[in-house]
Each structure stands twice: as C-alpha cells, then as structure tokens.
Structure 1
C-alpha cells in the first residue's frame, strides 16, 4: 500500500510542473473543441491534466467452475475489490487543426476475500491481496480536414499482470490496441463518427466497431456516447457542476504466475474480465484548475475467466461473480481559465 501511495503522490507532483491533459484517449479527444472539426461539442467537461482515482466494490460472492479435475470447483466471498488509477499526459503538437497527444497511465487492482485458509480454492488464495498492475503508454493523433470532417488514430501499449516475471520476459505482459475513427462536426453542438478498435478490448483480443454521438441539446442537457463502450446523459447545472447518468463497459486482462497454488502446473495463465456498469456521476470545481468527481452505481459482471494460455479461447476456470454496488472518487487538474478564455 505504501508503494501505491508513493506512486500516486509522484504523479500529483509531476502534474504541477506540466502543461498536461489526458484521461484516456477516448475521453481526451472527445473533450477537444476548436474552430476546426473535432469530436467535442460545447457543454462537455474541461480537458483533464492529471487524474488520480480510487474505486471500491464491497461484499459480493464468487463461484468458480473448472472442467479440469485437478482444479475442481470453488466458492467464496470477496470482502472488497479495490482499484487505483493515475493518469498524466501532454500535447506534443497542439495546433488548431492538428494535435498529437501522449499519455501515461498506471492502474492497480486487488482482491480481499473472507475466511481464506490453506484449503481454500487456489485461485482465491493467489488473488488475496495480490497487486495486479497495468502500465500504459499511448499516442493519439487528431486531424481536422476542414470545419466539418476529422479523423483520429490512437496506438496504445500496456504491460498487464502480476509482474512476478517481468525481469525475465517483459513481453509476457504486453497488450496493444489500435483505434481508427472518422467523423463529422455538424455544428458546434453536434458531432458524429464511426470507428474501429483492434487489439485487447475489454479484456479480450477482438475487433470492435464503434459509433460516436455527441450532442448538446440546450445549455443544460447533452449526450456523450461511443457505442457500445459507453453512453452518458449530461446535465450542466452550471459552469462549475456537471451531472451524468449512463452506463459503460469495463474490462482488463492480466498475465499471472500463480506459483504458490495448484495453478502452478499451468505456468503462465491469463485472467480476463468484462463488466457492465450503470452509473451516476457528479463533477465539481474545487478551484480554478482543480476538480473532483464522485461516481457510484451497480457493477454486473459479463465474463470473468481464467485461461491456461494467454490469448486462448477455451477457459480453464469460469468465475461467476455476483452483482455489486461500487463507489469511485477522482481528483484531477484542468487548464486554468486564463489559458482557455
């Protein structure tokens, strides 16, 4: 835990010296509004510099099934599922018509179970208080062809896993994605687009098409959506307070080495998860350049499985996780008004 606090503190200190922005390329690019075409629309939240967040899902059951007789089945209760994240980024090129953006992210997940013992299911014993890490680096390119048409590209690489073998072969943990999109700015209040994402999407290697729909209907109401990944209805209470209601898909993939359990016989294995979240969210200005957000809702798992080999399609363990409420808190930096007014 001390390591996490030091890492997050380091991100915060670095942000004070950086003319930065970025959350994730999907969100970053949507927030960009210029005189040229772009996916952003009037009324959306401000571009974000550094973001630090914490999320918790408490008290839900887990049941596991395996066709491999060496593993068998198991059941237990997860006392809490914690997620930490920190992100920072900056523009390498920041022209009205062309932008090249770089971002760095760090994420961590950990599980705590109730009543574990030496005879508990091997996967649960391995996951207990284990740090599952993800370090990501991305480049995103946005170019406006004119006042109406734009395209964007993003390349992202991540190192996802328990990091117990990172000194031997770093490629064990590498996951990459490529995004391509083309869009139309129909007005300062209305943008649409189509695109495709290839790579490790929501914890699984696939090709996923997407439809962008951003629209501000009036000074109070708007919609922000990249279907099927997320959709949010926005309410602008005032320039310092925004509310959202909607849903989003969330997923991850980790390469792990459970050497202290009966999973050791399989060597490198892969844990993949995909969740669906219904959410309520509030964003509020603390100071000119400092904002915070509180988000809560209900998480329902879609898939949570273990595979004997990374990229495999036949699961070794199929986990059934009960739905659970969650709460998320964020604090982030935005450009001061004097920089954008």
Structure 2
C-alpha cells in the first residue's frame, strides 16, 4: 500500500506539471466561451485540473449470508475502510463552442478487519489489506449549439479489480461508462438539462436517467444537482470559501480472483456495491491556484454483494454493512487568478 501511494504521488506531481502547461493554452478564448451555453452557472466552484483525495470510514459491523453451503455465512467487524484517489484533467480542445477534456484517474479501496484468523470467513480474509483498484481514462465532449442550448457526451473506461502489475488482463477487468446530456442555459444563473448514464452507480451496469439542475439564487446561495445521483446546496461565504450540504449516490464493480480461500473454486467473481452518502463539505482557497476541501457525513450501503461470475445475476454472498460516519480530505488545483484576469482584460 505504501509503495503504491508513493507511485501515485509521483504520478500526481507529473500531472501537476502537465496541467500547468495545458492551462497556458486554456487561456485563449475564455471570454468568448462565456457567450455560449454551458452547464455551469455563476457562483460555482472553479474548474479543477488535478485532485488528490483520501477518505476513511471508522469501525462498522458486517454480516454475510450465502445459500451455497460451500461458502456459508459469516460476520465480523471492519476496523477501517480506506479510499485513496488521484484525478488529472487536461483540455485537448478549448474553442468558444467546443471543449474536449481528457481525464485520468487512479483509485484504491481497502478493507481492514478485526481479529482475523485462518478460520475466519473466506471473503473477509481475502479482502484484508487487498487493494481493489480502478485505473481509468475518460473523454468529455461539450458542444454549445448557441447561447441557450448545449450537449455533453462522456465516455470512460476503467480497469476495476484486484489486479497487480504482473497479472493484469484488460479483458478481465475492463468496465465502460457512457454519459449523455442535453441542456438549456436559461440565464447566467440557471442551467437545466436531461440525460442518462450507462454505468455502475448501482453495481451492475445499467441505465440511470438524470436531470441536471444548476441554479444560483443570489450571491450567497445556489444548488448543483444531477438528480437522482447527487444534490448539493451551496453557500458562497466569500470568493475563497464555499460550503455544501446534500447527498451523493456511489457505486462500483470489481472483478476479483479470490485464491487461497473457499472462493477459489469459483475462479473469477464480481463484487458490486452501491451506497448513499449524506454530506457536509467545505472548500477553501489555500493560495491562488491551490485549494483544499474537507467533507464528512454518514454513509449507508444500499447493496454490497458478491456474484459467482462477472455480469451474473446469481448472488453468491449478500453482505449487510452497518451505516457509519466518514471523513474525506482533498487537495486540488484550479486556474490561477492572474490567468483568468489577464484573459478578461484581453
């Protein structure tokens, strides 16, 4: 885990340098973009280039049931659940009416259990200190038809699972997500749209419809949402401090090869999860282009299940995880203020 974090940190530093170079190109045409429709509204947080985040959940109970007598039932206690991620975004095209953005992300999810022994439940022993990884590449295309209408297409591919550098196989771990949306910019303070996502928010790949609603009511209050996936009410304390309250749906699907446990007889299995988080969040400028965020709240799992094969509907294990509080911290880069002011003056 420590070695992986060092590699991720080195990757993040490289992305910081690349983003600094990309931002010099991004200055061109900023003023022109304002005249065309986009999902953003006044008062929203600044666009991000690189985001580094860490999330931790403290102790909670887990109970597992299986109809397969070879697997059986189990119960235990998770003493901590960690998530670490890095996201880097860079513009490939930045014209007044058209934007193409490329993103790269790397995420790690890890469970640690209390008092595990050789006789403990097989799934818990396998997940102990196991890095469930997501390595993704995405492209987002935003086109403004005019001053009132726009559409957005995002395609994302991820390698999700328990792979290592030595055993990775793209066909075993590849997961794809597609988002499409069409919207209307009613005013600089109000955008609305409709769309759909074909992805893993509910664990198994399926279509999730969505309604975009971004609105700034006055200089201090606004709402940002893609319902039902997430809704956040925003309070702008000042230009350097923002507060949010709301909820977020999250999901994931991991392909795993649970060797050295009773699960090895099933070869490749799939772990799917869906959870909902009620959250409070603060974002604050540290220095010009550098911001940090602190987020906390309560997480409740909607589903957490293991399936006997990838894409299968046959549940091998049903896990019941207790609700728990969580805390997360983020460090992220935004365009420097002097670049934005210079573009406005030009």
Measure the CA separation in 1 of the matches of 2:249 and 2:321.
16
Measure the CA separation in 2 of the matches of 1:16 and 1:73.
47
Alpha-carbon RMSD: 1.5
* Runs ≥4 residues deviating over 6 A: none
Give 1:5 deviation, angstroms: 2.4
Conserved? CA contact 1:246–1:279, under 8 Å? yes
Conserved? CA contact 2:16–2:50, under 8 Å? no
Name the SS for the 2:40 alignment partner: coil
Give 1:4 deviation, angstroms: 2.7
Conserved? CA contact 2:258–2:267, under 8 Å? yes
Measure the CA separation in 1 of the matches of 2:202 and 2:335.
30
Give 1:19 deviation, angstroms: 3.0
Measure the CA separation in 2 of the matches of 1:161 and 1:315.
18
Within a 5 Å distance, the mapping from 1:167-316 to structure 2 comes to 167=167, 169-316=169-316
Give 1:16 deviation, angstroms: 3.3
TM-score for both structures, normalised by structure 2: 0.93
Partner of 1:65 in structure 2?
65
Give 1:158 deviation, angstroms: 0.2
TM-score for both structures, normalised by structure 1: 0.94
Conserved? CA contact 1:189–1:215, under 8 Å? yes
Partner of 1:5 in structure 2?
5
Measure the CA separation in 2 of the matches of 1:259 and 1:78.
21
Measure the CA separation in 2 of the matches of 1:130 and 1:16.
28
Give 1:170 deviation, angstroms: 1.9
Partner of 1:97 in structure 2?
97
Unaligned runs of 5+ residues in structure 1 are: 23-32
Give 1:34 deviation, angstroms: 2.6
Conserved? CA contact 2:234–2:244, under 8 Å? yes
Name the SS for the 1:70 alignment partner: coil
Partner of 2:88 in structure 1?
88
Within a 5 Å distance, the mapping from 1:94-173 to structure 2 comes to 94-164=94-164, 167=167, 169-173=169-173
Partner of 2:41 in structure 1?
41
Unaligned runs of 5+ residues in structure 2 are: 23-32, 342-346
Conserved? CA contact 2:19–2:50, under 8 Å? no
What is the aligned length? Answer: 331
Partner of 1:26 in structure 2?
none
Name the SS for the 2:332 alignment partner: strand
Q: Deviations over 1:292-334 (max 9, x none)?
A: 0000000000000000011111210000000000000000110
Measure the CA separation in 1 of the matches of 2:332 and 2:152.
25
